[in-house]
Chains A and B, each alone.
Chain A
Amino acid sequence: MTHTGQFCTFYLDHLLFGVESLKIQEVVPYRPLRPVPLAPAAVSGLMNLRGQVVVALELRRQLDLPERPAHMTPVCLVLRASEGSVCLLADEVGDVVQVADDTFEPAPQTLPPRLRSMIRGVHKLEHQLMHVLDTDRTCEVQAASEERSEP
Chain B
Amino acid sequence: MSDLDIVKEFLIESNENLDRLDRNLVELEKHPADREILADIFRTIHTIKGTSGFLAFPKLEAVAHGGENLLARLRDGELRLNPEITTALLALVDAVRQMLETIGANGSDGNNDYPELIARLKILQEGSAAPAPTMERPAPAPAPAPAPPPPADTCQKFQPTPDRLGALLVAQKRITAEELARALQDQEKGNKRPLGEILVGHGALTTEELQESLKILNESRSTPTEDATIRVRVAQLDRLMNLVGELVLARNRIQQWVGSKSDSGLVSTSQRLNLITTELQEGVMKTRLQPIGNIWSKFPRTVRDVALGCGKQVRIEMEGRETELDKTIIEAIKDPLTHLVRNAVDHGIEPPEVRQAAGKPSEGCLRLRAFHEGGQVNIEITDDGAGLNLEKIRDNALQRELISAEQASRLSERELCNLIFLPGLSTAEKVTNVSGRGVGMDVVRTNIEKIGGMVDIQSKSGQGTTVRMKIPLTLAIIPALIVTSAGERYAIPQVSLLELVGLDRDQARTGIETIHKAPVYRLRGRLLPLVCLNRELEVGARAANAATSSAVSADQSCLLDFAKARYMHEQWLDRLRQVLDGSATMTVEQAGSPTQCGLGKWLYESGLKDYSNIPEIHQVEAAHKCFHELVRGVVALKAKRDGAGAEHAYTELGQASGKVLDLLRAVEAKVLSCQNVNIVVLQADGREFGLVVDEVNDTEEIVVKPLGKHLKDISVYAGATIMGDGKVALILDVLGIAQRAHILAEGREPSRAETEPAAAASAENKQKLVLFAGRAGARMAVPLDLLARLENIPGSQVERSGNQWVTQYRGQILPLIRVTHALEERRQMPSEQDDALPLPTSAMLQVLVLENQQRSFGLVVNQILDIVESALETQSPPTRPGVLYSAVIAERVTEILDVPAILNAGEIRPPAAAHRAGS
**Residues of A bordering B, CB below 8 Å:** 32, 34-40, 43, 45-48, 50-55, 57, 83-84, 86, 139, 141, 143-144, 146, 148, 150-151
Contacts and interface: CB of A to CB of B under 8 A. Distances in A.
Interface in B668-725: 705-711, 713-717, 720-722
Interface stretch (B103-111, B727-735, B773-781, B782-790): B727-735
A146 to B, nearest CB: 7
Interface string B225-251: 000000000000000001101100110
Given A35-B488, A83-B708, A46 B720 contact: yes
Contacts of B537: 37-38
B740 interface: yes
A43 B726 contact: no
B708 A84 contact: yes
Nearest to B719: A53
Nearest to A139: B710
A55 B705 CA distance: 12
B136 interface: no
A48 B245 contact: no
A51 B705 CA distance: 9
A143 B705 CA distance: 20
A52 B705 contact: yes
In the A-B complex, the 9 residue pairs with the closest CB atoms: A51-B246, A37-B537, A34-B728, A53-B720, A53-B705, A55-B708, A46-B728, A37-B539, A144-B714
A38 B246 contact: no
B709 A150 contact: no
B538 interface: yes
Interface string B135-175: 00000000000000000000000000000000000000000
21 contacts: A34-B727, A34-B729, A36-B711, A36-B730, A38-B537, A38-B538, A46-B730, A47-B728, A48-B726, A48-B727, A51-B242, A51-B243, A51-B245, A53-B705, A53-B707, A86-B708, A86-B710, A144-B710, A144-B713, A144-B714, A146-B740
Contacts of A35: 488
B246 A43 contact: no
A34 B488 contact: yes
Contacts of A52: 242, 246, 705
A34 B730 contact: yes
Contacts of A55: 707-708, 710-711
Given A38-B714, A45-B728, A144-B710, 17 more contacts: A36-B714, A36-B717, A36-B730, A43-B710, A48-B727, A51-B249, A53-B706, A53-B708, A53-B720, A53-B728, A55-B707, A84-B708, A86-B710, A141-B710, A144-B711, A144-B714, A146-B740
Contacts of A57: 710
Contacts of B242: 51-52
Interface residues of B, number: 32
A37 B243 CA distance: 28
Contact of A48 (B707, B715, B722, B730): B722
A32, A34, A54, A141, most chain B CB atoms within 10 A: A34
Contacts of B714: 36, 38-39, 144, 146
Interface of B: 242-243, 245-246, 249-250, 486, 488, 537-539, 705-711, 713-717, 720-722, 726-730, 740
B53 to A, nearest CB: 40
A47 to B, nearest CB: 7
Contacts of B705: 52-53
Contacts of B539: 37
Contacts of A45: 728
A83 B712 CA distance: 12
Contacts of B720: 34, 46, 53
Nearest to B244: A51
A52 B721 CA distance: 9
A48 B243 CA distance: 14
A15 B424 CA distance: 59
Given A34-B727, A57-B710, A151 B722 contact: no
B709 A83 contact: yes
A46 to B, nearest CB: 4
Nearest to A34: B728
Contacts of B730: 34, 36, 46
A33 to B, nearest CB: 8
Q: Which residue of B246, B537, B713, B721 has the most chain A CB atoms within 10 A of its CB atom?
A: B713
A151 to B, nearest CB: 7
Contacts of A50: 246
A54 B243 CA distance: 15
A54 B708 contact: yes
Contacts of B250: 51
A38 B710 contact: no
A29 to B, nearest CB: 15
Given A34-B727, A39-B714, A47-B728, A148 B538 contact: yes
Query: Chain B CB within 10 Å — which of A48, A55, A151 has the most?
Result: A48
B713 to A, nearest CB: 5
Contacts of A39: 710-711, 714
B622 to A, nearest CB: 16
A72 to B, nearest CB: 21
Contacts of B709: 83
Contacts of B717: 36
Contacts of B711: 36, 39, 43, 55, 144
A73 to B, nearest CB: 18
A16 to B, nearest CB: 26
A51 B710 contact: no
Given A53-B705, A54-B708, A143 B728 contact: no
A147 to B, nearest CB: 10
Contacts of B740: 146
Nearest to B717: A36
Contacts of A139: 710
A145 to B, nearest CB: 9
A53 B713 contact: no
A58 B250 CA distance: 28
B482 to A, nearest CB: 14
Nearest to B485: A37
Nearest to B245: A51
Nearest to A32: B727
Nearest to B722: A48
A57 B256 CA distance: 31
A71 B721 CA distance: 30
Contact of B722 (A32, A38, A40, A51): A51
A150 to B, nearest CB: 5
Contact of A37 (B538, B706, B726, B727): B538
A82 B188 CA distance: 70
A98 B824 CA distance: 93
A151 B537 CA distance: 11
B624 to A, nearest CB: 22
Contacts of B706: 53
Contacts of A141: 710
Contacts of B729: 34
Contacts of B538: 37-38, 148, 150-151
Nearest to B487: A35
A45 B711 CA distance: 10
A65 B538 CA distance: 25
Contacts of B486: 37
A139 B715 CA distance: 20
Given A34-B728, A52-B705, A53-B720, A40 B245 contact: no
Contacts of A32: 727
B544 to A, nearest CB: 13
Nearest to B534: A37
A151 B613 CA distance: 14
Contacts of A48: 722, 726-728
B713 A143 contact: yes
A128 B550 CA distance: 58
A74 B242 CA distance: 28
A18 B728 CA distance: 29
A52 B246 CA distance: 8
Nearest to B708: A55
A45 B717 CA distance: 14
